[in-house]
Amino acid sequence: MLRNEQTALRDHVLNIASSLFYAHGIRAVGVDLIVAEAGVAKTSLYRHFRTKDDLVAAFLTCEDEQFWQTWQEVADRNADDAWAELNAHLEWIGSRLARPNYRGCPQINAVAEFSDPKHPARQIAATHKAEMRRRLKTIAVRLNSDRPDELAGQLALLINGAFVSAGMLAPDEAIPLLQNAARLLRAGHTS
Amino acid sequence: MLRNEQTALRDHVLNIASSLFYAHGIRAVGVDLIVAEAGVAKTSLYRHFRTKDDLVAAFLTCEDEQFWQTWQEVADRNADDAWAELNAHLEWIGSRLARPNYRGCPQINAVAEFSDPKHPARQIAATHKAEMRRRLKTIAVRLNSDRPDELAGQLALLINGAFVSAGMLAPDEAIPLLQNAARLLRAGHTS
DNA sequence: GCACCGATACAGAACTGTCTGTTTCCATCT
DNA sequence: AGATGGAAACAGACAGTTCTGTATCGGTGC
């Protein structure tokens, strides 16, 4: 019970901080704002997170896990058809760009905000992006690509490009743009 | 003469600030650091730039102009061949990712750092990205694309994706990855 | 009674932007 | 040629805020 309340408060602070970090940027959000929005004392925040950087790392780790959870659910629904799986991924990713408060990929944004390669945020982001390419490569292999690593890299560029190009695309444009591009890239990779 | 010294000092401050903004992020760099690195008085900075945001806007505008200047030089060298021009663009853009202190596209990074759509940095970045798609579309038209606007969008996704994916790519991987992708996309767009 | 929480004050640093002096230098006037 | 005035720069203190992180104290529920 105590344990539950403890983790409940920790999760509450993390959820509020995550929303603020994503909406306004990590450096733009101070701990004073976080505790005010969460309605908790600053002491409580620092009881569960040793520093702000620890809170940032927890935010990015959480986003990473949620992303792969969604990915996995879509993958499981298309376990028998790699091509259908890829298109399904492009669909839910593309649909995110049209969400009202969309503000890019948290990992990419974190890399833009923190320049030190040793910063935990950078390392979590790097792992996240490497994992994305790894998963795309397994799909490319199942698609019988001639050079699956290259196809995976190209698909990753498209996806990362979509993440940072929402402001350049019309609301309903992203999904067909991505899916058509994937179709053409795949066609060129299976001779 | 007086006029020259004024603009020389303004440019000096802007150059130092630009280097620091790009290397460490805009919010991470304070005006105290800028004036210390530039070796000028804070009063001098505020004589030429009304606020820090004005300095940030000047930074992004300058980066924008330099980017299109390089683009235009490459375009002029390939005025007779749109396909050669596109590949030349992908080459110099891809080669940037391998530069030692590469830290992404300044415009994309600025969008990650500032959440307010009305912030001058966001507007300069939005204009920059719209201009990129516009120029790519003129190339797509010259390539006889069936849907030049879509091809331009796909190429823009690839390029923006490359900007934010340098950490995911091997040093010599970006250029062939981009050029092969462009080849396949183009082939699918000219039936 | 004890562990947790909220509230609050605080320390120390960094931030943007202002203000006051002093120095330098060049153009102009005598 | 030498004096004068004005523009621009430097140096540095300063105000007011915000930032991260700590310390203290009182309340509350198990």
* Residue range A174-184: mean pLDDT, rounded: 98
Eight-state DSSP code of residue A98: T
Q: What is the DSSP string of B87-110?
A: HHHHHHHHHHTTSTT----HHHHH
In chain A, pLDDT over 70 holds for what percent of residues? 97
B170 neighbourhood in chain A, CB within 8 Å: none
Q: What is the DSSP string of B125-190?
A: HHHHHHHHHHHHHHHHHHTT-SSHHHHHHHHHHHHHHHHH-GGGS-TTTHHHHHHHHHHHHHHHH-
Tens of pLDDT, residues A114-162: 999 999 999 999 999 999 999 999 999 999 999 999 999 999 999 999 9
- The one-letter amino acid at B13: V
From the list B10, B9, B143, B41, the residue with the least C-alpha distance to B89 is B143
Q: Using H for helix, E for strand and C for coil, what is the string for A110-156?
A: HHHHCCCCCCHHHHHHHHHHHHHHHHHHHHHHHCCCCCHHHHHHHHH
Q: Which helix (H) or strand (E) holds A82?
A: helix A82-96
pLDDT of residue B8: 77
In Å, what is the separation between the CA of B100 and the C1' of D10? Answer: 35
From the list A107, A125, A118, A120, the residue with the least C-alpha distance to A53 is A120
Neighbours of A29 (CB within 10 A): 21
**A104, A132, A184 member nearest B188 (Cβ):** A184
For chain A, give the mean pLDDT. 94
B184 in contact with chain A, both atoms CB, cutoff 8 A: yes
* Residue range A21-25: mean pLDDT, rounded: 95
Residue A3 has pLDDT above 50, yes or no: no
Q: Among all chains, which residue has been given the structure tokens 């500032």?
A: B114
In chain A, pLDDT over 90 holds for what percent of residues? 89
B189 in contact with chain A, both atoms CB, cutoff 8 A: yes
pLDDT of residue B3: 39
pLDDT of residue A5: 54
pLDDT of residue B1: 31
* pLDDT confidence tier of residue A191, bands split at 50, 70 and 90: confident
Nucleotide nearest to B47 (CA to C1'): D8
- In A44-83, the residues whose Cβ lies within 8 Å of chain B are none
Report the CATH superfamily, name and number, of domain B52-189: Tetracycline Repressor, domain 2 (1.10.357.10)
Tens of pLDDT, residues A47-60: 899 999 999 999 99
B28 neighbourhood in chain A, CB within 8 Å: 27, 113-115
Eight-state DSSP code of residue B9: H
Q: Å from A150 to nearest chain B CA?
A: 7
Q: Within its chain, how far is the Cα of B123 from the centroid?
A: 14
pLDDT of residue B6: 62
B162 neighbourhood in chain A, CB within 8 Å: 157, 161
Residue A165 has pLDDT above 60, yes or no: yes
CA pair distance B45, B154, nearest whole angstrom: 41
Q: Which two tokens stand for residue B131?
A: 């201009």
Longest dimension (CA), chain A: 62
* pLDDT confidence tier of residue A1, bands split at 50, 70 and 90: very low
- In A138-157, the residues whose Cβ lies within 8 Å of chain B are 150, 153-154, 156-157
For every one of its 191 residues, what pLDDT tens digit does chain B have, with 9 covering 90 and above? Answer: 333 556 778 899 999 999 999 999 999 999 999 999 999 999 999 989 999 999 999 999 999 999 999 999 999 999 999 999 999 999 999 999 999 999 999 999 999 999 999 999 999 999 999 999 999 999 999 999 999 999 999 999 999 999 999 999 999 999 999 999 999 999 998 87
| Cβ–Cβ below 8 Å for B153 and A168 | yes
- How many contacts does A have with B, using Cβ atoms within 8 A? 145
The domain ranges of chain B are 1-49, 52-189
CA pair distance B64, B76, nearest whole angstrom: 18
In Å, what is the separation between the CA of A53 and the C1' of C11? Answer: 21
Asked if residue B160 lies in contact with residue A161, where contact means CB atoms within 8 angstroms, the answer is yes
Residue A2 has pLDDT above 70, yes or no: no
**B157, B163, B169 member nearest A177 (Cβ):** B157
Architecture of the domain defined by A53-189: Orthogonal Bundle (1.10)
CATH C-level class of B1-49: mainly alpha
In Å, what is the separation between the CA of A11 and the C1' of C1? Answer: 28
Please give the backbone phi and psi of residue A56, each rounded to the nearest 5 degrees, phi first.
-65, -45
Looking at strand C, which nucleotides approach a protein CB closer than 7 A? 3-9, 14-21, 26-27
Asked if residue A87 lies in contact with residue A76, where contact means CB atoms within 8 angstroms, the answer is no
